[in-house]
Structure 1
Amino acid sequence: MTVNPVEAPINILLVDDEPKNLMALETILDSPDYHLTKAQSGEEALMALLTGDFALLVLDVQMPGLGGLELAQLIKERKKTQYIPIIFLTAHYAGDEHVLQGYTAGAVDYLTKPVNPAILRSKVAVFVDLCRKTALEESNRALQKEITERQLAEEALQERNVALENAAEGISRLDPQRHYVTVNQAYAASCGYQPLEMIDMEWQRTVLPDDQEQLMAAYQKMLTQDKAEVEVRGVRKDGSLFYQQLVLVKTNDRQRRFTGHFCFMRDITARKQAEELIKASLHEKEVLLKEIHHRVKNNMQVICSLLHLQSGYIHDLEALALFRESESRIRSMAMIHEKLYQNESLARVDFSEYLSSLGSLLFHTYVANPAAVQLATRLDPVALDLDTAVPLGLVVNELVSNSLKYAYPEGRRGVVELTLRAGPDKQLTLSVCDHGVGLPPGFDLNNTNTLGLRLVNLLSAQLEGTLSVKSSDQGTAFELTFQESPTTKGSGMKINNGNPS
């Protein structure tokens, strides 16, 4: 039970070195309204003041050791005790000089012994009444402060409740058993209920059963990490479904005991529907691109077939070679589109696989005696986009076909080596080597009359690569070094005024 400070007994400290005087003071002031504490010396009184709180001090002036005047000065110097009223008692110092000295030391009254009991009780009653009034005023101020703070807290709580109730985002609070305790209008509306209908409802009832395992995984994460997010499908009152994004925030009381959690919900159905439309649109575009690559490849195959059929009517060997070279170039480009059509990614082609297929096609096209000439490949796994794959494929077509046709004449045996190496910083190195007869004396790569090597030069520049050649009677080696993602725009050759450029 809490005691009202205004009604509680008032603490009074009685100080006198004579026990009989203390007993007399105790008898005079005996009252249920007072709590009397006795001290027989200034030192004992000082210890009592250090440990307790007193409303009045009745103090003898003349005491051995620490006298009354000195004690009074010490009391007034301490912040805790400086406002305690002191009534001095004396049997020896009744003159004006001594009285003035007592008041100077901090006394509020000065009585001579023997003390008149009625006067002492009257004076003590005055200070006790003053103390009670002061305590009452302090109590009233504290009470008013508490009332003001409660009013402000209630106003803030009301404002918060209004804000939560009218928030655009759904907000609910659930107990440790995962039942709804409070639900704002936005949350209830998303679920198709009125707020009061959802009180005490099980949380899982508003989530599709198929998604509840995912929901509970997020709940367990919140229990250990205080917060979790999850996207699940919600179930409205009418059974219709909607997508909801939930943010779970754990709540605890002052003793850090678990009291439930907040659930912040946002209806993301429109976003999910937009995502599905985008996915469907992307799928349609992928199908369309696959069909385009397929048709481009088929059209190029038709052109190759026409060139092949036409070559059957050509008897001039030089013209026949030109037809076959053109057919080979078209096939190398058609094969790129075929790989893209067959690949899951429509943006990049597995160029290592493409080179293996292209090398096999060129080998069977130009090598009459497979026992004499062989094609060896060493290819790092590399994926290239269309703008890089088409010109690089044409370069490989020209260099490999030249080596297969001319490196080992008159039945000589040997190997043509096709290598693709992936280096640091997306740098690629393509090389075509043989150990055949080599290039003609005086050969200049930058000044050649053959269309194939002119194409190699032009396409290397388009790739922003560095092309080098080494040739002797021990063989020829072409090497092209370039970055995987050149800045050149557009794929294949560029034709200006009928000439490759």
Structure 2
Amino acid sequence: MTLLESVDLTVLTNLVLSITVVAISIWGYSRIGKPTPLYFGMAYVLFALSHFITLIGMNQLHATALIMMRTAGYVLVAVGLFAIIRDIIGRQQVEQALREKEEHISATFDQTAVGIAEFLPDGRIIRHNVKYGEILGCPDDNLQTVSIWDLITPDEHIVHFEGMNAVIQGDRNEYSGDMLFAQRAGPPVWCRISLSSVRAPEGRPRYFILVLDDISERKRAEEALATLNTGLEGRVAERTRELKDANTALLKEVYQRSFAEDRLKLALTEKEVLLKEIHHRVKNNLQIIISLLFLQAKKNDDPASTSALTDSQTRVKSMALVHEKLYQSTDLGSIDFAGYLQNLVSNLMVTYGADKRRIRVTVLAKDLPLTINTAIPMGLIMNELVSNSLKYAFPEGREGELSIEGHAEGDTMQITVRDNGVGIPESIDWRYTESLGLHLVQMLTRQLRGTIDLSRESGTEFRFIIPVREGR
């Protein structure tokens, strides 16, 4: 082979190598960061070997072998170029995906509802989203030249410095709290902050993420609520004082009333004792009168006078019995009329010598408490009627029954005195009789504002209707 051919082979080899280098530069293969593919190395070896054989004149080798070596070199160069193109395309696809992901993250970063800023350990802000600027009152300004500490009010700086500095120094991973930030234009704004660190592989903080959530509305609501609570607490305290004063006054009044009640109870007790003593003395005085009448009747030989004195005794006894029942009763204002009638009938039967086996007496008058103003007139009325029955209804040892019944009905009490004796003759007008007893019965009934009726069937029956309000 001539020298010209050798030169041509050298130029050809250098040209191929140059094209390879230029292709690598044009297609950006060097940016991939990978070593030159083995294809170019092998192609270079084949080209260099064929060129070396040609130069030393190894004519014993067939030309076809040289052509095959050079053709293989060209193929390897083509394959290498294809590999470069494939790697570059893959790289471009990866970069496109990274750009799209970065755009997505950036859009999310800018459109989030809270303010986010990233700053370095020296406090310089490296980037922030739109909401961060809006919260701090400077949506169009670039805050990257501003230190994070310049945005915090002095008072809040003192309160939160220790916690935030611990995150910046790497002593803790995060810090949160309510903080007052200064706006570029406008009043300070309350934010809920969350500060966290992004650490390098060796563990030291590389940069920090600050999240701001505007809580001004919540703070204003809390202040309004606090003001309302203060007002309510003041009203409650005032009301409590009023209630305390009222309670003190009430306790004082209760004490005074209790003291007055104690004095009243003492006075009532003394009054009850005095009333019992009065009733007891009245009863004793009446008993003296009864004894005098008894002695007078015993010494009197005139039957009519003796009878009159005996009747007087029974009348005084009926009154004395009322006073006796009153001072023996726990209620000084009234007496049990049924118990009174039982004692009255027993005394009258003894006085007139009536045999209980011959004359059977029944008293039915429950739940009829009578005051002294009613008991004495009713006692005298019962005394007269029972005395008349015992003296005149059962002559010559006749047997019979005497009953006294009483009950309340509406605003009245009805009392019936009945016997099955000989009865009052029809010829006697009992309303205008000269009998002192019947005259006394009618007079006392009018005094009680009641009514009296007589029935002569099967003996004698007197029916009384006495107004409760007037008679009790």
Give the TM-score category using the shorter length: 0.5 to 0.7
Q: How does 1:257-296 map to 2 (within 5 A)?
A: 268-296=254-282
For the residue of structure 1 that corresponds to 2:338, the secondary structure is helix
The whole-number CA distance in structure 1 between the counterparts of 2:365 and 2:378 is 14
Q: 2:454 aligns with which of 469, 473, 481?
A: 469
Distance change >3 Å, CA 321–CA 127, structure 1 → 2: closer
Question: What is the Cα deviation at residue 404 of structure 1?
Answer: 0.6
Change (3 A) 1:377 1:162: closer
Structure 1 position 163, deviation (Å)? 6.0
Aligned partners of 1:170, 1:375: CA distance in 2, in Å?
64
Partner in structure 2 of residue 337 of structure 1: 323
Aligned partner of 1:129 among 123, 129, 133: 133
Preserved CA contact (<8 Å) 1:307 1:323: yes
**How far 1:371 moved relative to its partner?**
5.2
The residue number in structure 2 matching 1:431 is 416
Contact 2:361 2:402 in 1 (8 A): yes
More helix by share: 2
- What is the rounded CA distance, in whole Å, between the counterparts of 1:321 and 1:426 in structure 2? 39
**Residue 443 of structure 1 aligns to which amino acid in structure 2?**
I
State the 1:418 CA deviation.
2.5
Partner of 2:469: 486
Counterpart amino acid of 2:133?
D
- 1:414 and 1:434 in contact (8 A); partners too: no
**Alpha-carbon distance, 1:481 to partner:** 2.8
Match of 2:405 among 384, 409, 420: 420
Amino acid at match of 2:456: S
Alpha-carbon shift at residue 414 of structure 1 (Å): 1.8
| Aligned-pair CA distance for 1:164 | 4.2
List per-residue Cα deviations over 1:32-59 (Å, max 9, x = no partner): 981669xxxxxxxxxxxxxxx799xxxx
Per-residue deviation at 1:329? Answer: 0.8
Give the aligned partner of residue 427 of structure 2. 442
Distance of aligned partners of 1:486 and 1:454 in 2 relative to their CA distance in 1, 3 Å threshold: farther
SS in 2 for 1:312: helix
> Residue 140 of structure 1 corresponds to which residue in structure 2?
216
Q: Is 1:307 paired with 2:382? A: no
Check conservation: 2:431, 2:438, Cα contact below 8 A: no
Query: Paired residues, what number?
Result: 295
Shift of 1:377: 3.1
Deviation at 1:324, TM superposition (A): 1.6
Report if the CA contact (8 A) 1:403-1:416 is conserved.
Answer: no
Asked if structure 2 preserves the Cα contact closer than 8 Å seen for 1:329 and 1:394, the reply is yes
Q: In the alignment, what sits opposite 1:27?
A: 102
SS of the counterpart of 1:428?
strand
For residue 327 of structure 1, the aligned residue among 305, 313, 325 is: 313
Secondary structure of the corresponding residue to residue 469 of structure 2: coil
Q: TM-score, normalised by structure 1?
A: 0.51
- Given residue 486 of structure 1, which amino acid in structure 2 is its aligned partner? R
Q: 1:441 to 1:266 in 2, by over 3 A?
A: closer
Q: 1:462·1:488 contact (CA, 8 Å) conserved in 2? A: no
Aligned with 2:470: secondary structure? coil
1:167 Cα offset (Å): 6.0
Equivalent in the alignment of 1:154: 230
Is the alpha carbon distance of 1:279 and 1:412 closer, same or farther for their aligned partners in structure 2, counting shifts above 3 Å? same
Structure 1 residue 365: deviation in Å?
A: 1.1
Q: Evaluate the alpha carbon distance shift between residue 453 and residue 162 of structure 1 in structure 2; reply closer, same or farther with a 3 A threshold.
A: closer
CA distance in 1: counterparts of 2:345 and 2:354, whole angstroms:
15
In structure 2, the CA distance between the partners of 1:441 and 1:28, relative to structure 1 (3 Å rule), is: closer
Q: Give the Cα–Cα distance (whole angstroms) in 2 for the partners of residues 310 and 21 of structure 1.
A: 149
Larger strand proportion of the pair: 1
**Secondary structure class of the residue paired with 1:413:** coil
1:454 aligns with 2:439: yes
- Confirm or deny that 1:317 pairs with 2:303: yes
Please report how far the alpha carbon of residue 451 of structure 1 lies from its aligned counterpart in structure 2 after TM superposition. 1.5
Task: Check the 8 A contact 1:398/1:453 in 2, yes or no.
Answer: yes
Residue by residue, what CA displacement relative to the aligned partner does 1:340-394 show, whole Å, maximum 9, x if unpaired?
Answer: 1111110111111111110011111113555544434334353221122111111
AA matched with 2:226: R
Q: CA deviation at 1:310?
A: 2.0
**Residues 186-235 of structure 1: CA deviation (Å, up to 9, x unaligned):** 7xxx9xxxxxxxxxxxxxxxxxxxxxxxxxxxxxxxxxxxxxxxxxxxxx
Aligned-pair Cα RMSD in Å: 3.8
Could you tell me how far apart the structure 2 residues matched to 1:304 and 1:327 are?
Answer: 5
CA contact (8 A) 1:408 1:437 kept: yes
Contact persistence 1:464–1:486 (CA under 8 A): no
Q: Give unmatched runs, 5+ long, in structure 1.
A: 1-19, 38-52, 56-121, 172-185, 191-244, 246-264, 490-501
CA distance in 2, matches of 1:334, 1:31: 118
Report the identity percentage: 33
Q: Tell me, yes or no, if the aligned pair for 1:463 and 1:486 is still in contact at 8 Å.
A: no
| Equivalent residue letter for 2:382 | V
Residue 432 (structure 1) shift:
2.0
Distance 1:36 1:26 in 2: 15
In the alignment, which of 345, 348, 351 is matched to residue 359 of structure 1?
345
- Equivalent residues in 2 for 1:49-198 (5 A)? 129-130=133-134, 133=137, 139-154=215-230, 156-157=232-233, 160-161=236-237, 164=240, 168-169=244-245
Instruction: Letter of the 1:146 partner, please give it.
Output: E
Change (3 A) 1:162 1:405: closer
Deviation at 1:170, TM superposition (A): 9.4
Structure 2: gaps spanning 5 or more residues? 1-94, 116-126, 140-182, 184-188, 191-213
2:381 & 2:417 partners in 1: Cα distance? 10
Are the equivalent residues in 2 in contact too, given 1:430–1:480 (CA < 8 A)?
yes
In structure 2, do the counterparts of structure 1 residues 380 and 163 end up closer, same or farther at CA, with 3 Å as the change threshold? closer
**Alpha-carbon distance between aligned partners in 1 of 2:354 and 2:231, rounded to the nearest angstrom:** 97
- 1:198 — aligned with what? none
Aligned amino acid, residue 260 of structure 2: A
Q: Secondary structure at the match of 1:347?
A: coil
